[in-house]
């Protein structure tokens, strides 16, 4: 195996770690916390571990759509997008290591939630519930899971990494 391929494959350790951690935590939640209940609270009611499921996507968008529409838009389409991301990932030699790790984390999070959509009839298991103090009109942030966290954190890192490159290139021009 050549060095370039090894460099590109290494970040997929994060993909596997996210999928494994996501699925283990969801199994623990399903096994130990009855559905629609609070299993634990920390820092008063700031952080709660709950057991709910979501048949939609972020913020329950599409949860009331038909099963066929949800299957196409939330299972098949994301799989195609993840496949395209992986193709671009391996064809591109210009990504930085941070960008490669961030992409791998996003792919792991996406696959973690797809596993739920394919194998859990109740939908994606969500369990992290955080108080949001009325910001944006939300008393609590929508409940999420490890996969969601990986997508958001790695997505932010990816955007920051691209911004840093743009700033560096702009400074070189000046």
Residues annotated as catalytic are: 126, 148
Give backbone dihedrals phi and psi of 69, rounded to 5 degrees, phi first.
-65, -45
Distance from the Cα of residue 102 to its chain's centroid: 11
| DSSP structural state of residue 105 | H
Question: Which residue from 4, 2, 18 is spatially nearest to 101, judged by alpha carbons?
Answer: 18
Instruction: Give the neighbor-by-neighbor strand order of the sheet with 124-130.
Output: 38-42, 47-54, 124-130
Q: Helix or strand or coil: residue 94? A: coil
């Amino acid at each position: 195996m050549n060095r370039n391929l090894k460099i590109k494959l290494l970040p997929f350790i994060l993909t596997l770690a996210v999928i494994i951690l996501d699925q283990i935590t969801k199994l623990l939640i399903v096994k130990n916390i009855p559905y629609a209940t609070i299993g634990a609270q920390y820092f008063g009611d700031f952080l709660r571990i709950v057991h709910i499921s979501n048949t939609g996507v972020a913020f329950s968008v599409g949860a009331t759509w038909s099963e066929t529409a949800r299957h196409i838009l939330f299972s098949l389409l994301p799989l195609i997008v993840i496949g395209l991301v992986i193709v671009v990932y391996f064809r591109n030699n210009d990504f930085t290591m941070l960008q490669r790790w961030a992409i791998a984390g996003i792919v792991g999070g996406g696959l973690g939630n797809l596993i739920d959509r394919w194998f859990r009839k109740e939908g994606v298991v969500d369990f992290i519930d955080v108080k949001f103090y009325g910001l944006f009109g939300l008393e609590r942030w929508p409940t999420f899971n490890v996969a969601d966290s990986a997508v958001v954190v790695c997505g932010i890192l990816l955007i920051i990494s691209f911004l840093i490159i743009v700033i560096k290139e702009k400074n070189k021009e000046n």
